[in-house]
Amino acid sequence: MAQLFKPSANNYARTSIVLGGLTPVLIGLSLAAFSRSPLNTKVGTAKNQPVPFSHTHHAWELGIDCRYCHTAVEKSSYAGLPATETCMSCHSQIWTNSPLLEPVRQSYETGTPIQWNLVNKTPEFVYFNHSIHVARGINCNNCHGPVQNMPITAKGKSFQMQWCLKCHRAPEKYLYKDETKPNQTPRQQVFDLYWKMQAKEELTPRENGILAGEEQETGDAKEIEKGKKLVNQYGVKVQQLADCWVCHR
């Protein structure tokens, strides 16, 4: 697959895809059997990290907002990883002798960024954008699994094309809004769900499902009706959302 879509061949790939060329589709299909094996999708597998950073400690037990560290997530296509300074805002004062934090102190002293190993990476020929999903109220855990339960970060979903398309073809089955907080923007809702969990407020089954990283494809007619309203309200371009150029440009 890497050979099929080298970054340098991007224009080729794009053109053939945009023109709806049959060849890439056929190749895609023949690769599908391979690309669906768990070996390739790596769901649930963690990677070795220079520092054993725990989301369970930081995001759940300490309750630090995702945006404190992933500062770009609501504004840009990338979520981004935190700079060493962000860690040192606390760790210059607490846990200062921890051997586990030695690479963080080293990085701070030398000015060399920590080399985290990304667990989520789509191929070069796929375009993804965080900010639009967050602006539509899609919770991080829909796509990353139960991050608050990860002492070491693992990949939560396959990120295969079919997986993205399931939602892009029928977003009304996925979009969700907390009706007890009608005045919140969809973006606020994404982060408020973590606070609700933190404050041990009562959660609906749907909210529990989102936090657990379960697939949100609801079959419930009432929920779908609500989803359709949100699709209209947010102006989601449903007719185009599954077009090839949306993700391959």
Residues numbered 211 to 240 that lie near ligand HEC (CB under 6 A) are: 234, 236-237
Task: Compute how many residues bind ligand HEC; rule: CB under 6 A.
Answer: 82
Q: Give how far the C-alpha of residue 111 lies from the chain's centroid of Cα atoms, to the nearest Å.
A: 28
Distances from the Cα of 97 to the Cαs of 51, 52, 57, 76, 91, in angstroms? 14, 15, 18, 36, 9
> Which residue among 6, 57, 181, 229 contacts ligand HEC (CB under 6 A)?
57
> Which residue among 7, 38, 123, 151 contacts ligand HEC (CB under 6 A)?
123
Tell whether residue 80 is a contact of ligand HEC (CB under 6 A).
yes
Residues 13-32 that bind ligand HEC (CB under 6 A): 17, 24-25, 28, 31-32
* Contact characters 130-159, ligand HEC, x per CB under 6 A: x-xxx-x-x-x-xxx--xx----x-----x
DSSP secondary structure of 39-77: HHH-BT-B---SS---HIIIIIIS---HHHHSTTTTTSS
Residue 202 burial (CB count, 10 A): 7
Q: How far is the CB of 5 from ligand HEC (least distance, A)?
A: 7
> Which residue among 9, 43, 81, 224 contacts ligand HEC (CB under 6 A)?
81
Cβ atoms of 206 and 173 within 8 Å: the answer is: no
